[in-house]
Amino acid sequence: MTWSVRSSINDSSFSPSNGTNGRTRIIRVIQEFRTTLGSKIEKVKKNLPMKLLFFLVGFYCATAFSTVIGQTGDWDILSAALAVVVAEGIGALMYSASLPLFTKSLISVFNYWKAGLTLGLFLDSFKY
């Protein structure tokens, strides 16, 4: 989004007759911001229950992952490496060119799972 700043000195573009319906620039900017914010909120609300479900499932998987694998203490390094590989693999699928095997919505759902997993592992690290 680019913002153009114009001066009102010797400029007739600030008259109310130029198609702005007598609105000032600040009102137009506020209305445009409200419109774009509304469209972004509608985009976030799309499939919100599914996004929250996979985020919470990822959070639960992180708790189970750190509890079960961390009981013995022998597999800590390997389990951390596995978690990093899974998170980076999903990130690579999310931000790479489209693959014919996965749809964008499926990759997006796994990205929410990854976010829950990462946040859960981060919060579990403060327990110990």
- The sign of the torsion formed by the CA atoms of 64, 67, 68, 70 equals positive
Q: What is the pLDDT of residues 104-119, one digit of tens each?
A: 777 888 889 989 988 9
* Interatomic CA distance for residues 63 and 103, integer angstroms: 28
Q: What is the pLDDT of residues 33-88, one digit of tens each?
A: 999 999 988 888 888 889 899 999 999 988 888 787 767 777 777 777 888 888 88
**What tokens were used for 18?**
């130029």
pTM exceeds 0.75, yes or no:
no
